Structure 1
Amino acid sequence: MRTFAIVTVLEGAVSGLAEWLAFHRAVGVRHFVIYDNGIDAEAAATLALHEGLGVTTLPCPSRLDCAPRFAAYEHFLASRARLFRFAAFLDSDEFLVPPPGRPLDGWLARIPTHAGAVAVNRRAFDTAQPAQPDPGLVLRRFPRALAVTDRGENRVVKSIYRQGAIATIRDPHRAALVQGEWLMSDFSPAEADPNRPDAILGVRHGEIRINHYPSTALSQAAGPSGDGESCPRTQSWIGPMLDEMRHLLAFADAVAPGTAAQLRARYAGVPELARPVSPQEHRLWRLRHLHRPRAEAAGRFLQRKIFGAPRPW
């Protein structure tokens, strides 16, 4: 069984999609389930390039009783959730950020067995006034977080759910648990705010945080955040993310030159991406992202045949 997946729904032009995927690969996410709700050609080409890199792209289902996003989440719970021990339902403007140098797999391994969901604090970043002209990377354009009091934005949480802990999801922040307990990301008990169903009392930063880069309209409504703070945690992951992007471009040069040219043009303002990767490092990257997942899938198939499907709890 795979450990963790990020589930998201994309539509239209998705700015920074390659950066979003590379960042999460750098922090230890190996599987993505992405629902296509009408993305543009550039985003479709980027997803096609990632087919062998842990990204599964599915058409977004259509239902009359709920919005496309929740129809996609319900589809995942019904058809794909059994493949993963944990899943997070994020948007493409949300980055799941662990502490510097501490990838997600170690934290996931320490989630207590009685936890049905882990609430992760979300910190909003000010996208109203970029710190510098667009250099190609979202994480560099908007380095300052909104102040904690701004619009209550920083009391919102998203959750990482254990397989079998939820049967349906109509609230992206806090779905009703059918088994297990709510914990914070430092594994202390989570207490809901009775006045705001999407917020948590006694906000703690915890070990894991979500950086949210909201739309320009929302950020302008909130106003500029001169009293915000920079995020050294995020900056510490930019180097590993750029390494992932360089390897992705080297891979794309070989398998999809047209997509590689599009990505290089989009990130022309990032000079680090022009640095070539060594053949040995790229072979190790391919082994980690292309060949090891296939070997693990074969091992899971044999395990299911011999021992049966594993129990989620």
Structure 2
Amino acid sequence: MEFFSLLSYYHNPIGINEKTKEIASFKDITHSSSKSLSLIIFKIETEKDSLFLIAHDCSTIMDLALSPIRNKIIRLKYKTLEDGCISLIIPSTNKYLCAILPSDDHGYGRIEGNRINVGDWEKFHLVPNNKFDSNHISLSYEVLKFIELLKNESSLINLIKSYDGDNGDFLLSLALSYLSVEEILSISQKLSLDAELRSDLARICPNDFWASQAIPSLISWSQTRLYNKFLPADIPYVECSKLYDELSEIGIDGKTTSLPQICNYYLRRSITPRRELSILTCQRNEGIYLLEWIAWHRALGVEWFYIYTNNNDDCSEHLLSALAKEGIITWINNDVKLGIKVQQKAYGHALNILPHILDYKWTILIDMDEFIVPNPEKFSGIREYFSWQSQFNCDAIALNWKFLASSNVKNDDIFMPLTERCIDFLNDGVIGEGTRLIKSAFKTNKIYHSNAHYPVLPNSELIRFRLTDNEPHRWNHPPAGEPASAAFSDYVMLDNVRVYHYFHKSAQEWFWKSCRNRGGDSTEMGIDFALIEDSWIGNFMNQATDNRADKDSWVPAYSMKHKKELNILRSIPAIAQAEKLVREKFVSRMRTLKKDFKTSSAREKLTGKNKDFIDMIEL
């Protein structure tokens, strides 16, 4: 067994960026601006043209930029070149690795895995490394033995059943570089049928929640559903613990880090839904909008809601609890550590761990200030649109935004439905390229993960993504300075279905939103006036009285249905009482905010016409 370190062509050491976990070349491992983890490279006798990369701690999941690789162990092919250097090749893509020169500011440059030719930047030096220990030796011999026995899919099944060491998750991650998609599909099928094999997989991968949690719960739910036709599709409450915090990052780029992860995806893909339409959303401190939003989408045909929440302090937990107990939503408490990307974790949990959402053919992913509105001249509701859409071969639908301007409401008028008081469209010029941003709906069992704007599939799969008129969703021309991304559509389609975005609402609510910690990555509580400054308040003032376009004409067509559904929900005593608590909390909190704001220095940061905002919120 031989151990090595890796240097770029220019003799920069190759390591792991401690923050991003990307493999990178460093100006100097001791550079004050760069924090690195050591990389160990080893060869084994039976794979003479391969190198194996692991972190010195043997546990860090490494990311290789611009490649499908993110893993604890990375297998690369290598070739020795005429000048004595080597080139490194990704087996699954036949692309070369390239060492970007370290920057003076950061002290590092990432290694990228997408080059098709070899120049100096694609050359590396392999140098002997004596800084290995007994753990590295033991692991390298396990890799050697594992590869000698790994002949095909059947041999891997036998290895799973017989393995009795401590590196099962490590070895199965390595297996990904040897298995075809067809073999992984076959292993997934065997897992669905063999309880003993599932137990062995969980035994040898105790820290892999796909093996220990996701796959067992999925199979259990699926089998119970198969034998009980009257099994409810949903459960009222789910706890999404910190155990799943990794899902805020893992899978969001379509990369696969473990064999159980991709097997879980194919098992979920095999589920046949019994119902049509659900909404997946994240909510924090938005209790005053909850009933209107649910009533609107129920009235137009949405069957169920999966609502993830974290760190609410507006009493909305009372309303969520009442709705869950009445069988209207599934409330998922998203317990997160500080700094975790809350939304991405929620979407990862729903699309990897939660089995019940698979009972719905379509999932719409929107926020609490976004309302799906179909064209009333073509469709009587959201369900009718998706029924029409189903005649086309499609995995995901890009839903374009239409922004509504704020309303001039005060005091209790804030509790009027947004759909009744915000009726003017904003001029698209106010939003700029933001009008090209999309939200999405997708076939639930086809999706690996999702961010706020578009779903993600494994890198080995292709997505059929369409606009609402069934033309292909294309994203070849991003806004200036933005990378090409499915988040921005080249063409905005608003004829069939729109997402009405009630972003500004009113001055009072903009103040409320500006002063509370909310959504996104935030887990902190309390009052914060940091956003009361010209750029943020100017965002509101730019549309407060000017830049209005035409008035909405679609919402009134559904207003009777909406009011009827809202009245039904409010006729339930527990829900009515919970909504009352939310409103009282809003009024009380607003009173406190205004009182504290009067004595703060934050108001002095506003200049020009932004000072008018103070009058609009009636201090």
Distance 1:184 1:259, change over 3 A: same
Structure label with greater radius of gyration? 2
Q: Residues 314 and 582 of structure 2 are in contact (CA less than 8 Å); yes or no, is this contact kept in structure 1?
A: no
Equivalence for 2:343: 69
Q: Residues 164 and 179 of structure 1 are in contact (CA less than 8 Å); yes or no, is this contact kept in structure 2?
A: no
Of 487, 497, 510 in structure 2, the residue corresponding to residue 208 of structure 1 is 497
2:416 matches 1:139: no
* Partner Cα distance (1:203, 1:257) in 2: 39
Residue 395 of structure 2 aligns to a residue in which SS? Answer: strand
* Partner Cα distance (2:583, 2:337) in 1: 38
Shift in Å, 1:179: 3.7
Equivalence for 2:430: 150
For residues 123-202 of structure 1, the aligned pairs below 5 Å read 123-127=402-406, 130-133=407-410, 134=413, 136-152=416-432, 153-169=434-450, 171-177=451-457, 178-196=461-479, 197=485, 198-202=487-491
* Cα distance per residue 1:216-260 (max 9 Å; x no partner): 34741643444312111022222211111111122x23x566336
* Partner Cα distance (2:559, 2:583) in 1: 17
Higher alpha-carbon deviation: 110-119 or 25-34 = 110-119
TM-score by length of 1: 0.75
Equivalence for 1:87: 363
* Partner Cα distance (1:117, 1:203) in 2: 16
Residue 278 of structure 2 aligns to a residue in which SS? Answer: strand
Q: Residues 32 and 56 of structure 1 are in contact (CA less than 8 Å); yes or no, is this contact kept in structure 2?
A: yes
* Cα distance per residue 1:278-308 (max 9 Å; x no partner): xxxxxxxxxxxxxxxxxxxxxxxxxxxxxxx
Counterpart of 2:577 in structure 1: which amino acid?
Answer: G
Residue 284 of structure 2 aligns to a residue in which SS? Answer: strand
Distance 1:146 1:237, change over 3 A: same
Equivalence for 1:102: 380
Equivalence for 1:298: none
Distance 1:165 1:150, change over 3 A: farther
Shift in Å, 1:172: 1.4
* Partner Cα distance (2:401, 2:292) in 1: 19
Q: Residues 114 and 180 of structure 1 are in contact (CA less than 8 Å); yes or no, is this contact kept in structure 2?
A: no
Shift in Å, 1:83: 2.4
2:586 matches 1:246: no
Counterpart of 1:236 in structure 2: which amino acid?
Answer: A
2:296 matches 1:23: yes
Residue 447 of structure 2 aligns to a residue in which SS? Answer: coil
2:540 matches 1:220: yes
Equivalence for 1:116: 395
Higher alpha-carbon deviation: 256-265 or 32-41 = 256-265
Shift in Å, 1:44: 1.6
Shift in Å, 1:65: 8.2
Q: Residues 447 and 456 of structure 2 are in contact (CA less than 8 Å); yes or no, is this contact kept in structure 1?
A: yes
* Partner Cα distance (2:575, 2:398) in 1: 39
Distance 1:147 1:223, change over 3 A: same
* Partner Cα distance (1:60, 1:40) in 2: 14
Equivalence for 1:35: 308
Counterpart of 1:119 in structure 2: which amino acid?
Answer: A
Distance 1:176 1:261, change over 3 A: closer
Q: Residues 165 and 179 of structure 1 are in contact (CA less than 8 Å); yes or no, is this contact kept in structure 2?
A: no
For residues 261-300 of structure 1, the aligned pairs below 5 Å read 261-262=580-581
Q: Residues 85 and 162 of structure 1 are in contact (CA less than 8 Å); yes or no, is this contact kept in structure 2?
A: yes
Distance 1:36 1:176, change over 3 A: closer
Equivalence for 1:237: 558
TM-score by length of 2: 0.39
Residue 320 of structure 2 aligns to a residue in which SS? Answer: helix
* Partner Cα distance (1:110, 1:55) in 2: 26
Of 309, 319, 323 in structure 2, the residue corresponding to residue 50 of structure 1 is 323
Q: Residues 280 and 306 of structure 2 are in contact (CA less than 8 Å); yes or no, is this contact kept in structure 1?
A: yes
Higher RCO structure (Cα 8 Å, ≥6 apart): 1
Equivalence for 1:78: 352
CA-atom RMSD in angstroms: 2.7
Counterpart of 1:139 in structure 2: which amino acid?
Answer: T
Structure 1: runs of 5+ lacking an equivalent: 267-313
* Partner Cα distance (2:565, 2:582) in 1: 13
Shift in Å, 1:132: 4.5
Distance 1:75 1:222, change over 3 A: farther
Equivalence for 1:283: none
Higher alpha-carbon deviation: 3-12 or 107-116 = 107-116
Aligned length: 262
Distance 1:149 1:183, change over 3 A: same
Distance 1:108 1:259, change over 3 A: same
Shift in Å, 1:61: 4.4
* Cα distance per residue 1:195-224 (max 9 Å; x no partner): 243221221213111001114347416434
Structure 2: runs of 5+ lacking an equivalent: 1-273, 480-484, 505-509, 511-535, 586-619
Residue 348 of structure 2 aligns to a residue in which SS? Answer: helix
Shift in Å, 1:60: 0.9
Higher alpha-carbon deviation: 180-189 or 196-205 = 196-205
Q: Residues 278 and 304 of structure 2 are in contact (CA less than 8 Å); yes or no, is this contact kept in structure 1?
A: yes
